[in-house]
Structure 1
Amino acid sequence: MTALLESAPGYRARHTLPLRVEFVRQLRRRRTLVMGGVLAALPFVLIAAFAIGGTPDGRDNGRITLMDTATASGANFAATCLFVSAGFLLVVPVALFCGDTVASEASWSSLRYLLAAPVPRARLLWSKLAVGLGLSAAAMALLPLVALAAGTVAYGWGPLRLPTGGTLATADTVPRLALVVAFIFVSQLVTAGLAFWLSTRTDAPLGAVGGAVGLTIIGNVLDAVTALGDWREFLPAHWQFAWVDALQPQLEWGGMVKGAAISVTYALILFALAFRHFTKKDIVS
């Protein structure tokens, strides 16, 4: 069958289901717009909370935390938004965009028609995965961009005040924040891999998305179990806040490199499992 398709006049497997077409399809979906709206609204919710509750004053045993410096500048506010959302909120769009992508087609009974177009299975998965990761990256960038703009208007532009004391030069602030966003995205590749793998195994989008979020939460719980000792270093959740090392006068790479290596390793295994299963799967929906 493959040989016949390849020899058909004008047929090119790599030209089927272009990324642009898949991107537009996913971008116009209601869940994409809702997720974008939630992420864009968070900075304004926090600004309102600070306006009502007053400026954070670091009452935790006299220790100054990142939250306590939130209103020092727009850069501090953007860093605070990332801090409060990295543990859970930013997990949701990754699980949604990567977990809903294949399972939703199956639930609509349109998956078999896409493959009959004909779109090769590997090509279909690559398009779905690329768009899912692209939208996830866009979601990661949207939050700090809105937070930086809104925070600058509300609190002014200035150097990044560090909880450990001192400040980070204004010229270094944006590159450091960009590095933080990049690391958070890489650290969430495990969630993307889980969601994408589950999406190829179920016809229920909620099961794939919820399963990925649930397993990520379990990883966070296990990381809190100190009895596991050094075994926790093999958990992606153990390194999810390693990006805090980027908000230091002297940039520290050690934790971020280890966290990125763990995340990418797990993600590649999960992506491979997804492709392996889908290429052999009997598509009936």
Structure 2
Amino acid sequence: MSKAEKLAEANDAVDHGVHTDPAALQELSDAASAEPTEVGADGAVAGYRAGRTLRLGVELRRQLKRRRTQLVLGLVALLPFILVIAFEIGEANPNRRSGGFVDLATASAPNFVVLALFVSGTFLLPMIVALFFGDTIASEASWSSLKYLLAIPVPRHRVLRQKAIVSALLSAIALVLLPLVSLLVGVVWYGAGDAISPTGDAVTFADSLLALGMAIVYIVIQLAWVAGLALLLSVLTDAPLGAVGGAVLVAIVSQILDQITALEDLRNYLPTHYSFAWIDLISTDIDWSNMASGALSSVLFGTVFGLLAARRFATKDITS
């Protein structure tokens, strides 16, 4: 078998998820380098195309087959049913028209969705995003397959980009799945009524669906800072739990600091300060200023963290 054929076999191995097996990758890498290089007219090794390595669809399917991903998506889909059981055991009043988000949760399906997003926004949603992004590079390093993946070779920028895109898709799936299941469960149990805000405003079911859609988009954008930080930590460490835990810890500390009123305007610069700005959408008079500030802040944080991750990964000495 020529070197070109061995390189093509290595590319196909990456495409089909063999890069989770370090021994197989090492064998392919050694075989590909055992013969003289066949160089094409354009100066590239014959049979090798960087664009064929680590294809997006293949990587996405591989991640969807992982037990970690299945458990996370299963938990997200199960949460609305747990909340319904909690309200059924308790003494919820479906006719309540005033109170906080918990009190109004059983007033209608949109209110139930608002509660699901509200109770999960402090810890669960940031943890899910941190899990998917923190596990990108660190997991390959912990499996000792990263160096063989790069030796095939898959360009470093492509490894980071493809894995980040897949992590973003998985995060988006989880963030959309929660309100979608909550809405279906809410319609069955509490009906398709108006959304009632704590201030007493009533938003029609149709308008509330539009508001919830915009709220989901905002939550996805607002959690971009968690994604960028987890990706950076994933590049800096070979321990996936360290990357995930580090990002979650920063989110928790930021939320704690945001509760300290003595910090006054300094709290506006915390990445979690505008986490729940989407609540303003459940109103007849929407204030867009907090959501605009939150989206801008998160995008800036996420961009900085992402650029730092790309720079660090491009120069990192890969030993595992």
TM category (shorter chain) comes to over 0.9
Displacement after TM superposition at 1:69 (Å): 1.2
Report % sequence identity.
Answer: 49
Secondary structure at the counterpart of residue 238 of structure 2: coil
Secondary structure at the counterpart of residue 284 of structure 1: coil
| Partner of residue 76, structure 2 | 39
Does the alignment pair 1:181 with 2:216?
yes
Residue number among 118, 124, 142 corresponding to 2:159 in the alignment: 124
C-alpha spacing 1:152/1:58, structure 2 compared with 1 (3 Å): closer
Secondary structure at the counterpart of residue 99 of structure 2: coil
Letter in 2 for 1:143: L
C-alpha separation in 2, matches of 1:63 and 1:69:
7
Letter in 2 for 1:149: L
| Partner of residue 267, structure 1 | 302
| Partner of residue 45, structure 2 | 8
Q: Deviations over 1:218-239 (max 9, x none)?
A: 1111111111111110111110
Letter in 2 for 1:282: D
Letter in 2 for 1:114: L
Letter in 2 for 1:9: A
| Partner of residue 125, structure 2 | 90
Does the CA contact (< 8 Å) of 2:258 and 2:273 recur in 1? yes
C-alpha separation in 1, matches of 2:200 and 2:250:
37
Residue number among 19, 23, 27 corresponding to 2:60 in the alignment: 23
| Partner of residue 204, structure 2 | 169
Q: Deviations over 1:57-105 (max 9, x none)?
A: 999xx96112211111111111110011111111111000000111011
Equivalent pairs counted in the alignment come to 282
| Partner of residue 145, structure 2 | 110
Secondary structure at the counterpart of residue 129 of structure 1: helix
Calculate the aligned-residue CA RMSD, in Å.
Answer: 2.1
Does the CA contact (< 8 Å) of 2:157 and 2:314 recur in 1? yes
Residue number among 247, 250, 253 corresponding to 1:215 in the alignment: 250
| Partner of residue 24, structure 2 | none
Does the alignment pair 1:80 with 2:110?
no
C-alpha separation in 1, matches of 2:269 and 2:172:
24
Q: Deviations over 1:78-137 (max 9, x none)?
A: 111001111111111100000011101100011111111211000000001001111111
Letter in 2 for 1:82: L
Tell me the TM-score normalized by structure 1. Answer: 0.94
Q: Kindly indicate whether structure 1 or structure 2 has the higher relative contact order, using CA contacts under 8 Å at least 6 residues apart.
A: 1
Structure 1 or 2, whichever has the larger Rg, is 2
Secondary structure at the counterpart of residue 84 of structure 1: helix
C-alpha separation in 1, matches of 2:66 and 2:55:
18
C-alpha separation in 2, matches of 1:284 and 1:4:
33
Structure 1 gaps of 5+ residues are: none
Structure 2 gaps of 5+ residues are: 1-39
| Partner of residue 178, structure 2 | 143
Tell me the TM-score normalized by structure 2. Answer: 0.84
Displacement after TM superposition at 1:11 (Å): 2.9
Does the CA contact (< 8 Å) of 1:36 and 1:139 recur in 2? yes
C-alpha separation in 1, matches of 2:169 and 2:107:
32
Letter in 1 for 2:181: V
Letter in 1 for 2:260: V
C-alpha separation in 1, matches of 2:172 and 2:64:
13
